[in-house]
Amino acid sequence: MSNAAKPRILTGDTPTATGLHLGHYVGSLETRLRLQDEYDCYFLIANVHAFTTLAEKAGEIRANTLGIVKDWLAVGLDPERSAFVLQSEIPAIAELTFLFAMIIPFNKVMRNPTLKTEIESKGLGETYPFGFPMYAVGQCADILAFRPELVPVGEDQEAHIEMCRDVAMKFNQLYGGVGNRVPADDHARAGSAGENAVFPVPRARIGRVARLVGIDGQNKMSKSLNNAIFLYDEAKVVQKKINSIRTDRPTTTSPLPESNPLSQYIDVFLPAERASQIKADYAAGKTIMDGHVKAEVGAAINALLDPIRSRRAALEAPAAPGRAGGDALVVDVIRAGVKKANAVAEETLMLAKRAMGLDFGRRVVGWE
């Protein structure tokens, strides 16, 4: 099937930090990899949003932006099939943000639980810029600019997707002739003659593992908590980190608590059958040396990471005569993705402006 005939998905990452870990992989990257064939995919690098907390570190944002593209390529996202979209190069997103800001109640934005959690966890206090709550409106525009069917995200983003759905429906009702009682899933078909509802109401798709526990067994895996296994850790380091997990079994026949990280890693990284066999053995009180299980889990993780590590290393190699490489390659990928993305986003903006009575002709956005 050609890409144009496939339903679209849009999702993205904010380049505020470098260093992907296994939590990112099983929480979202893996879903994206799986959906690349069935969907016309748009993966957004939300570099404008990065300025909400890093405005004084523009250089860092640029470096992280290039790093994210390399990370995506390393895990196997494929720019031939999926567009890598740099947010700052999509003018329709900025324009839709402004237009949507007119139809979202201010207090609703300020009550968004994801924003509240971020203000606390990042210690933003009262000092955050105007643009910080605004990014939640911007995220609605990121999504709706592509009129996607699905938005694959982690659990923490659900509130944003909910807001995005509200905005889509409100827009369709105000400007698309869709009745107030029409259910979300019918919006795309409703409206005057079915064509005035500009925005299909997208759904969130949560990844296979909503929360991967860190090797400390206390918290969600996170770079800042020092409990992460990174996608680019060397094989030896991966095994060492797995070995450091405390299983707290008094004897070799004691059960392994479900809450132990080793228990979750068995489920997540070993084939289903093997995982249930090990679990059953633990539960039956068989003699089990945790070291053996850790070796098996470590090997499975390393088998997953091997190709990712080698692709990432190849991407670090500089360009050579006749071969793109390093940052030049990344910039090429971005320019191609932006071109494809602007074709869709400009069309969306045109439809939205027409619905709002703001259409006065068709403009062209593109690279020189």
What residue ranges bind ligand TRP (CB under 6 A)? 10-14, 44, 46, 49, 139, 142-143, 151, 153, 157
Pairing state of beta strands 203-206 and 150-153?
A: parallel
Phi/psi region, residue 7 (left: phi>0; alpha: psi -120 to 50; beta: rest), is: beta
Alpha-carbon distance 199 to 189, whole Å?
10
40-45/8-13 β-pairing: parallel
User: Which residue has tokens 């005035």?
Assistant: 196
State the minimum distance, in angstroms, from the CB of residue 152 to ligand TRP: 8
Beta strand spans in the chain (E): 8-13, 40-45, 83-86, 150-153, 203-206
Nearest CA among 158, 174, 167 for reference residue 200: 167
CA neighbor of 21 nearest in space, from 208, 231, 209: 231
At its nearest, how many Å lie between ligand TRP and the CB of residue 33? Answer: 16
Q: Minimal distance in Å, beta carbon 252 to ligand TRP?
A: 42
What would you report as the CA-atom Rg of the chain, rounded to the nearest whole angstrom? 23
For residue 170, what are the contacts with CB-CB under 8 A and spacing of at least 6?
103, 104
What is the torsional sign of CA 176, 181, 183, 189?
A: negative
- List 9's β-bridge partners, or say none: 41, 150
Q: Count how many Cα atoms sit within 13 Å of the Cα of residue 238 in the half-sphere of its side chain.
A: 22
Closest CB 122 distance from ligand TRP, rounded Å: 11
Q: Where are the alpha helices (DSSP H) in 288-325?
A: 290-316
Q: Give residues with Cβ within 8 angstroms of 151, minimum separation 6.
A: 9, 10, 11, 143, 157, 161, 164, 202, 203, 204, 205
Interhelix angle 158-175/131-144, nearest 10 degrees:
70
Whether residue 211 contacts residue 220, with contact meaning beta carbons closer than 8 Å, is answered with yes
What is the distance between the alpha carbons of residues 109 and 163, in angstroms, rounded to a whole number? 8
